[in-house]
Structure 1
């Protein structure tokens, strides 16, 4: 980042300080009021943006980001040729853009990616939208490209990366270990931000970000077709199915019958089992409310909007509660929010190990040592949701089960299934019946 936004007497400007000082006005103005630290009340000095609680902050920050991107694009264009543009020259070019005399269109990968990432920041952070990819993943990808450019001594252009050859080079590079640092051409030492040696699941995440970015490039008309990327992902990136484990119905009842002397362990056991009986995510456990339970056709039903999809789908999930689920709620006095997620999982691992019910080895390995993991080491609160879905998938009609879990897509539901379960050979006996 060569330029940065600053507040100059209530006016937000783009600041640049090479061979002079430029304070280019963005047209965004905030209140001149300051706090006790003499900082502008409506300016987030840590994030260099208008504070999110200011009216129209999103639009204002979009204007600021647009000018910041334009300014950095110009500086980058000059640096490719080994020239540092002066503050006066940069101000003139930005003024020409404002007056419509010229248009800046950067070909640099990173300039366009930063613009793309800012869009994602607004979507995922300011608007609190839900996505399969967290905003931190986009930041990690930026660090990955920084490392790639440093290690390979290049400044990537869009045209450099939009082909199969680069995808293969990038893919291979992701699998290799990063050094701690490298000496750049200008004599400076660059310290790497990522470790490298990524496994297929992590590589898949990087390519998911790349897919979204390429769509952004198509929108900007910097890329005509991204089918080559989709084809490469489909044929070259094979994500190994994550080995997971779940509790069978018998194991749920066996664990329920196993009493722990420690009160905390007993309560955590009950919370975990309730998740196994309802498919609750952790946030849904925290948000549980007794008054959401109602009677329906002779059974208690819990109706709620899943926290994860509340702002995206707002779909109501309706879960019939088993007798055991009701018994657990009564034992917990209908209070599920007792401990933090991290602490609950720590206690859960301890009690599962202590129970001696889940000590068998699995095919999963420790990523560092290669040691085979035992079942209790794979179990966590989220495996309760997997347990619920896996135990019902072969007996409950799919549309009914998706009403329980609030899933919109069958493909999403299938991600929760424990495929290590033994097959049931009795299913094929249906073919033995005549009429």
Structure 2
């Protein structure tokens, strides 16, 4: 009886419960990004200098964790739709805390490799991507686009904080101590996440956006039509699903190719130092925070229209990148690229939620995970091969510009599907 009461206890907040869900999701993402690829890229010099591990083996370990996480996304998506985040996220936090403790306590490379691959594999879909986005879609409708943009922003913000935090602790106590601290943080975080997380607002007697179940669904005195949701089998039979899956895959391929080649391009083309080029690249990453603006625009107009506009501008920016002549132009490109490049992934998720509803959102987005992670891995390889083959970055950026235009066309063709049978 006591355990049942504890399990059923729900914390109360002076604001809509969905916002508490987003706060819990942010801190979970913070714990998870400790092993994100972008964070390891920023702190790897501390690890390699301390251990003298092979850089090739280290990089291969990072790649393995990233790839495996993508291929389990369909499975995690189904679990997110069926059980929700309350069981998945605390369990993932406990497991990654054990991995962090292993990284801290066992000096051998195999311990780091096993701990990293396991923590990366489970944290990416459960604490960063599929599960947090699924619960966000379930709890919000009228403000869904803004909520999704906030969830997407969590990753770059948490990643930037993690890089600085790990560097700070490493300089004083060592990088292993940093992961010991993050292990205790993750373990402690599992408790509030367990009590806060819920699958749907209906479990709390609410509809999305905090509307009471017994009332007419209105937000700001505006009546909102009832949302219907596609089941997974019906969704994958639509042209819209495959068009959007292609857009997500090609955009990931393009953006990863650009990200991988930007720093060497700045150095070779403009004669910048590595430090200058890296600083400009970091600026573009920080400006991904503009996702909130895109969420507001998507609410005002439509995520599909905004996505088409975004992709067209991205294609034009590739032509601008090819013709950079001075360092100040690289700063201009970095600002524009940071604003536009990070928004595409968020807008894609908004379109999927708008088209297919919330009942199978996790399964639908999870199914695209293997395609997306394959593209993420191929992007840097494609960039390197084209650079070596043509001794120039121009052919690569021309191909990427064409891909962005194709993606804009596919998004235009991906009209809202009409279902013969819809599930509320």
If the TM-score is normalised by the length of the shorter chain, which range does it land in? under 0.3
The two structures have a TM-score, normalised by structure 1, of 0.24
Greater C-alpha radius of gyration? 1
Point out which structure has higher relative CO (alpha carbons under 8 A, 6+ apart). Answer: 2
More helix by share: 2
Give the TM-score normalised by the residue count of structure 2: 0.24
- The structure with the largest strand share of the pair is 1
